[in-house]
Amino acid sequence: MRGAGTLPPGRKVALVMNADAHILAVATAVPPFVLGQNEVMRRIDLALGPYSREIVRLLPMFGNTGIDRRYSCVPIEWYEELHEWPERNQVYLDSAVDLLESATRRVLQRAGRRPEEIEAVVAVSTTGIATPSLDALLMERMSLRRTVKRLPIFGLGCAGGSIGLARAAALSRANPHALVLFLVVELCALCFRRDDFSKSNIVATALFGDGAAAALIASPGEGARIVGGGEYTWPDSLDVMGWEVTREGFKAIFSRDIPELVTTKLHDVAVDFLAEHALTLADIDSFVCHPGGAKVLDALEIAFELEPGALGNARDVLREYGNMSAATVMFVLERAIADSKPWKRALVSALGPGFTAGFTLLENAS
């Protein structure tokens, strides 16, 4: 076991839960505007390149991300103008609810359920501010029952897909026979800043896309069983990842050390989480990982003792959709559930601000 990520004595990473919450279905949704990676790079070069040699030096990054295209809630021309926070957040509100409605209707259709059956909603998002929260806005849009239990979650960043799924499972167990709707939507592309020449802005521009996902969870039910969830937040790591709030909106914060942190510290934390369930990495058939970027995926394969290129579903999602923050791992999960290759146990994992690792353990009866 690598020593870099060893937990303090007596520290447990897992929150053990009763094994009776099931994922009935998962569905995803993306906005209509396609951002081809080459086109984004060309426009960045034209718009910012003449003013910064550093921007020109960073352009090859676009070709090294493992991304072919992404989706955006606004056309690419929108990003060429300056937009302050109120306008950006209004775009976020309008687009986020549209995407959540689309994903919700799709997941209900897949599960053969009706909107009026939903008794609780867990909604994760960190790329805008909504008060009333997105779940309340969706409740009004879709005429959900007035007694729906609502749990909006903000601030988990990329870890929100895994941690939020575990929270939804806990809510399902607390309300047996209730149908719980888990939602996640992130409009990361809105963080691009036309007048920001920093490396973090260019990295975000090369990686981020928009998307949403929905899952239906019931206890009892059929489908993959959510066995447990847990998380671990490393000390002195608050500056690794997050948002800086400015007049123009959110500005991405990335540490260049993220791949190194994953390589050296995640392994032991994951091992300790699995040990709480009397499992090892060798007992996991499917690793459902948030693909933060190509280098992060390489680091994840090292941390989880996998062969290079083993995280195929995650790499495919990254190539086709980019990094959609918390929503991305749900796109990977959707593919894992539909995968023709059978699996008994799956580990859903994601890393986010804190700096925090989030895990959800699944078992498949089929």
Q: Are residues 151 and 203 in the same domain?
A: yes
pLDDT at 281: 97
Residues 61-116 pLDDT 10s: 788 888 999 999 999 999 888 888 899 999 999 999 999 999 999 999 999 999 99
158 catalytically annotated: yes
Specify whether 203 is located in the same domain as 266. no
Do 178 and 42 have their domain in common? yes
Of 175, 190, 218, which closes a domain?
A: 218
Q: Among residues 73, 158, 188, 289, which one is catalytic?
A: 158
Domain with 270 in it: 14-18+224-363
- Across all residues in the chain, what is the average pLDDT? 89
Same domain (yes/no): 266, 178: no
Q: What are 340's two structure tokens?
A: 């023709």
CATH of residue 245: 3.40.47.10
What pLDDT is recorded for position 340? Answer: 74
**Residue 17 has what pLDDT?**
43
Q: Is the same domain home to 98 and 188?
A: yes
**Do 237 and 342 share a domain, yes or no?**
yes
* Tokens found for residue 166: 């575990």
Q: Which of 218, 251, 274 is the last residue of a domain?
A: 218
- pLDDT digit string (tens) for 273-307? 999 999 999 999 999 999 989 999 999 999 999 99
On the question of pLDDT at 239 being above 90, the answer is no
State whether 132 and 263 are in the same domain. no
Domain identity same for 308 and 207: no
* 264 and 4 Cβ atoms separated by less than 8 Å: yes
Relative to beta strand 33-36, strand 69-72 is antiparallel
pTM: 0.90
324 in any annotated domain: yes
Q: CA-CA distances (angstroms) from residue 5 to 274, 295, 308, 363?
A: 14, 19, 22, 26
pLDDT at residue 12 greater than cutoff 60: no
Residue by residue, DSSP assigns 154-178 as -S-GGGHHHHHHHHHHHHHHHSTT-
Q: How many domains does the chain have?
A: 2
Q: 75 with 30, same domain?
A: yes
Instruction: Mark whether 212 and 231 lie in a shared domain.
Output: no
Same-domain pairing of 259 and 203: no
Q: What letters, b where the CB count within 10 A reaches 16 and e where it falls short, cover 122-132? A: bbbbbbbebee
Domain stop point among 160, 187, 218: 218
